[in-house]
Amino acid sequence: MRRKIAWTIIVLAAVLIVIEAMRFNFTALPKPGPLETRFANRAKLFFIGRASREGIPPAPQDKQASIETGSTQYGLDCAICHATDGHVQGTPGQWMYPRASDLTSKRVQSYSDQELFWIIQNGIRYTGMPAFGKTETQDHIWGLVNYVRTLPSTSQEATSTR
């Protein structure tokens, strides 16, 4: 009797899983739910943190020159998705899933410089973030990291426009 109940529960669970899987799709149009977002963000933080612990070259000594280089590179490589101000998504960035990140947000700014370098160099699979490691020099990538740190946050801009 117990065996029959156990098999019934297993079959019922399998049927429910199949029904739910049939409803699942990979469209990027609707905003994902909170559970999916939380899971994806936690996984991303874990794997980026782990991967960025090794193999990151030292930052350039002349930070101001690096920021200037980064400003130029940002306009060429990043502004199309993250917009020129870093916190308003460009047209392609609005329709990606996950959406293009607000580079001035606390979440992005809380990454270490090494983590930002790793993200720019390697990209993030299954997102719109491309890898620039084969097309940009390490100095250019550091320039982007340093430039992203200079982008004003939304609250700073609101204060300065009053």
Backbone angles phi, psi at 36, to 5 degrees: -60, -45
pTM of the model: 0.76
126: left (phi over 0), alpha (psi -120 to 50) or beta: left
Q: Looking at residue 94, what is its pLDDT?
A: 78
* pLDDT tens track for 26-67: 666 677 788 888 888 899 999 999 999 999 999 999 999 999
pLDDT band at residue 24, thresholds of 50, 70 and 90? Answer: low
pLDDT tens digits, 71-115: 999 999 999 999 999 987 778 877 777 888 999 999 999 999 999
